[in-house]
Amino acid sequence: MVLINDNYLRLPESYLFSDIKKKVTAFKASHPEAKIISLGIGDVTRPIAPVIIEALHSAVDEMGHPETFRGYGPEQGYSFLQEKIVENDFKARGVELDTDEVFISDGAKSDIGNIGDILSVKNKIAVTDPVYPVYVDTNVMGGRAGIMEKDGQHWSDIIYIPCTSENNFVPDLPAQRPDVIYLCYPNNPTGTTLLKEELEKWVDYALENDSLILFDAAYEAFIHDENIPHSIYEIPHAKRVAIEFRSFSKTAGFTGLRCGYTVVPKSLRISDESGKRVEVNKLWNRRQTTKFNGTSYIVQRAAEAIYSPEGKKQIQESIEYYMRNARLLKNCLQNIGLQLYGGDNAPYIWVKTPNRLSSWKFFDRLLNECHIVGTPGIGFGPSGEGYFRLTAFGRYEDTVEAISRIQNWKL
């Protein structure tokens, strides 16, 4: 008898954003006249910057000539891109990395899910709550969690660290020691950030408690304030306790192109069953060389172009475009008396639902009455109940239209 991985059966049947898509499709079918504006999934709307398109074209041409054709590339990524990353994303911020500590991938989501391959099923996992569902779901798939509480919201074998307006969305250190801690800053979904000293507390905690931090920095490009760290490695000794995930999806509009990278420092060591310390970089390299044949050459050339002076300027324009949306949305929502968070150094706005409406009730009303799609906070975890996420990644005109609909809405 063939057996499936039973862990999958513990999960809700579909992923949060697939669920929302189904609801929206059903609404469209029954309201074909409605002009729906999506401020739901954090997908970008600006086209790829011209300098990146040029790089893509010339890489495509290279593939058509015998002298410049490329077959399999290095599984870890081409050095031309690794070097640019080390130089621009880290050295420029005072962080020294070797190129073989940077692994190019097809996006942060894959690596965040795949990292579980090199971690024992016995590890105790902690997440901030609300949380990007991929962290939790992939741990259930991997057998590190799987017992659901009666409320249908908590996995009892995961430590949830609440982040709400009560603690200003700054997570407290956990009462119980986790082995693995997921942190995402700027945060998805709340759009909030941590100051250097706040992140330092987590690094110190991990050093003292022999925990591993999985740090998702997919939204770092949206940071404007000087005192907010872009990388966890800006904190002293973080290389001994943290893996960092980066993505070009939001930074440069690569949600469709697919490229990101993961930093696994060589000084990061964790224990095997016998207590012997093992170099995580070597394990991840073993995993990648076995299961991954690298990101396509043309996409890596596209990513390289982001780091050219012109590329930096062009992607910055898109980031500012989205942040203008964020400011507009924030002003409008504040003016109608809603309480909201985030949106200053992140493309997400976290809204407290008014009149104690549940997240899903607010979702339904916003869709039915304004034809606007957002993401219910409860979809990100129990502490998300009573909140709602809006993204600034929409087209400017749609954001303005959404604002006008919300302003005229009888809530």
Residue nearest to ligand MLT (CB): 42
The CB-of-246 to ligand MLT minimum distance in angstroms stands at 12
Instruction: Kindly give the pairing relationship between strand 387-391 and strand 348-352.
Output: antiparallel
Per CB under 6 A, the list member of 11, 24, 36, 41 interacting with ligand MLT is: 41
Q: What is the DSSP string of 126-195?
A: EEEES--HHHHHHHHHTTS---B-TTSS-BTTEEEEE-SGGGTT-PPPPSS--SEEEEESSPTTT-----
Residue with tokens 């043309």, as numbered in its chain: 298
The CB-of-341 to ligand MLT minimum distance in angstroms stands at 16
Sign (positive or negative) of CA dihedral 231, 348, 190, 120: negative
CB 250 within 8 A of CB 108: no
Closer by beta carbon to ligand MLT, 43 or else 117: 43
Stretch that binds ligand MLT, among 35-43, 160-168, 198-206, 359-367 (CB under 6 A): 35-43
Per CB under 6 A, the list member of 38, 82, 188, 193 interacting with ligand MLT is: 188
24 binds ligand MLT (CB under 6 A): no
Going by the DSSP 8-state scheme, the letter that residue 240 receives in this structure is G
Token code pair at residue 248 = 């070009």
265 binds ligand MLT (CB under 6 A): no
The CB-of-205 to ligand MLT minimum distance in angstroms stands at 26
Stretch that binds ligand MLT, among 37-45, 204-212, 273-281, 299-307 (CB under 6 A): 37-45
CB 240 within 8 A of CB 208: no
Token code pair at residue 122 = 């016995």
230 binds ligand MLT (CB under 6 A): no
Closer by beta carbon to ligand MLT, 43 or else 54: 43
Going by the DSSP 8-state scheme, the letter that residue 380 receives in this structure is G
Closer by beta carbon to ligand MLT, 36 or else 283: 36
The torsion region of residue 258 among left (phi > 0), alpha (psi -120 to 50) and beta comes to left
The pattern of x and - marking residues 143 through 172 that bind ligand MLT according to CB under 6 A reads ------------------------------
Per CB under 6 A, the list member of 38, 81, 109, 305 interacting with ligand MLT is: 109
> Given the rule CB under 6 A, which residues bind ligand MLT?
41-43, 109, 132, 188
